[in-house]
Amino acid sequence: MTHAAATTADHAEAATLISTGRAHLGLELGSTRIKAALIDDAGTVLATGSHAWENQLEDETWTYSLDSAWTGIQDCYADLVRDVRERHGVELTQLASLGISAMMHGYLPFDAAGNQLAPFRTWRNTFTTEAAGELSDALGLNIPLRWSIAHLLHAIRGGEEHVERLGFLTTLAGYVHWQLTGRKVLGIGDASGMFPISAAGDAFDTAQLERFSALDGVKGLPWALPEVLPEVLVAGQDAGTLTAEGAALLDPSGALQPGAVTAPPEGDAGTGMVATHAIAPRTGNVSAGTSAFAMVVLEEQLSGPREEIDMVTTPAGDPVAMIHTNNCTTDLDAWLGLFGRFAELLGHPVGPEELYSTLFGAGADGDADAGGVLSYNYVSGEHQTGVPSGRPLLVREQEARFTLENFMRSQLYGAFGALAV
């Protein structure tokens, strides 16, 4: 078969696979983009979609509104449908399976009727310092500031009115999955950022649940923590199917049919582990985005708590040591946006790939010490270095070698500064 004939055959096969509902959809709500990918059984990407969004700082809280989440999800899915139509000439009406991932942890509380009780409090907030410290002492584990349990204790200690009415607590991925399937479940990797996981790696730690319930101010509440947390699932377990209501939420046009099998919803760390094949013991990966984290899959549990290390799991429940920083590329992206706008004003606009690769290449030619130029890139607070709130700065000495190359090297150093510490 000639190359042209093979390409035509492959194209026809992909179109048939999509039109007969045998493709799989992955949807991720990242910190700056909502992304969708349609794949076949072998993982070949058939179509993609995306939607840009940003968090807001409202009342000193980093948050996203759930309305903007659904607007973004629907726009992202519509973008995917357009890509399917343009690439393959067919309509997307059925899915074989569906998986949701999103920013990990944070605080999304609901009452028994499913009403949201407080704005979504993201991983970026650092006002949970005292609550996380109290929990770390009480549970004998390092409880990071961004974990759901730290946010919950912060709300309890602050006497927030909604706490008494809590009926369900979940993450962003867990919330979206709940709305699409009706199931209040969570993949174990994301769940491990809500509350500590048992040594068996298949559920929340019952002994730690009892310790939390015995804390002053907690034992008198009208609910018990196990009742309000989602059911924990590991990769491969039944997480429900896409309902008719869920299909209409995802695709308001009404073209998408219900029935797709769903995977347990996971956090973005789990997606990164799977995407880089870092899911077996003694493997690891680094993820760089709005935040940064380095992860190593362990052969066994740590011998004791370390303040800078978060203990989470792979989607299969294996223990993972993670170092997470709140700040990475946000300030860098803002500066590169200025260069992109400058190119537009000159009448020579460049795409993001060319812009970033050109300027990153310039950074590689900068001095080892960035010529005395310092990028202090904390847009938000940074728990790893004990900084409560962000104030991004660009600083240089009078005698600094302030060149484009050194400027870019300082930006790259700054992006990974907290992680390097």
Residue 287 confidence class, pLDDT cut points 50, 70, 90:
confident
The pLDDT score that the predictor gives to residue 3 is: 46
Among candidate residues 291, 310, 325, the one where a domain is terminated = 325
Q: Which of 375, 387, 374 is nearest to 331 (CA)?
A: 375
Record the pTM.
0.83
Digit-coded pLDDT (tens) for 334-355: 999 999 999 999 999 999 999 9
Q: What is the average per-residue pLDDT within 110-118? A: 97
The pLDDT score that the predictor gives to residue 1 is: 43
The pLDDT score that the predictor gives to residue 221 is: 96
The pLDDT score that the predictor gives to residue 4 is: 46
* Residue 120 scores a pLDDT above 50: yes
DSSP letter string, 94-109: --SEEEEEES---BEE
Identify the CATH number of the domain in which residue 180 sits.
3.30.420.40
* Residue 182 scores a pLDDT above 90: yes
Tokens of 359: 């300027």
Digit-coded pLDDT (tens) for 354-377: 999 999 999 999 999 999 999 999
Q: What is the average per-residue pLDDT within 123-132? A: 91
Digit-coded pLDDT (tens) for 214-265: 999 998 899 999 999 999 999 999 999 999 999 999 999 999 999 999 999 9
Dist CA 158 CA 167 (whole Å): 19
Based on the domain organization, do 231 and 361 belong to the same domain? no
Based on the domain organization, do 252 and 308 belong to the same domain? yes
Q: What is the average per-residue pLDDT within 316-343? A: 94
Based on the domain organization, do 286 and 368 belong to the same domain? no
Among candidate residues 325, 350, 372, the one where a domain is terminated = 325
* Residue 181 scores a pLDDT above 80: yes
Residue 9 confidence class, pLDDT cut points 50, 70, 90:
low
Among candidate residues 279, 303, 325, the one where a domain is terminated = 325
Based on the domain organization, do 227 and 334 belong to the same domain? no
Tokens of 177: 């999955």
Based on the domain organization, do 168 and 227 belong to the same domain? yes
Residue 5 confidence class, pLDDT cut points 50, 70, 90:
very low
For 397, phi then psi, to 5°, come to: -75, 160
Based on the domain organization, do 155 and 281 belong to the same domain? yes
Based on the domain organization, do 148 and 249 belong to the same domain? yes
Cα 173 vs. chain centroid, distance in angstroms? 8
Domain that holds residue 409: 330-420
On whether the CB atoms of residues 240 and 163 are closer than 8 A, the answer is no
Based on the domain organization, do 266 and 378 belong to the same domain? no
List, in order, residues 6 or more apart from 167 with CB less than 8 Å away.
110, 111, 112, 113, 114, 223, 228
Based on the domain organization, do 319 and 341 belong to the same domain? no
Based on the domain organization, do 119 and 242 belong to the same domain? yes
On whether the CB atoms of residues 249 and 77 are closer than 8 A, the answer is no
Percent of the chain's residues with pLDDT above 70: 98
DSSP character for 238?
A: -
Residue 7 confidence class, pLDDT cut points 50, 70, 90:
low
Dist CA 214 CA 307 (whole Å): 23
* Residue 6 scores a pLDDT above 70: no
Whole-number mean pLDDT of the chain?
93
Strands 108-110 and 266-267 come out as: unpaired
The pLDDT score that the predictor gives to residue 16 is: 95
Dist CA 180 CA 100 (whole Å): 10
Based on the domain organization, do 93 and 221 belong to the same domain? yes
Q: Of 29-43, 251-265, 299-313, which gets the smallest average pLDDT? A: 299-313
Q: For the chain, what is the domain count?
A: 2
Based on the domain organization, do 263 and 334 belong to the same domain? no
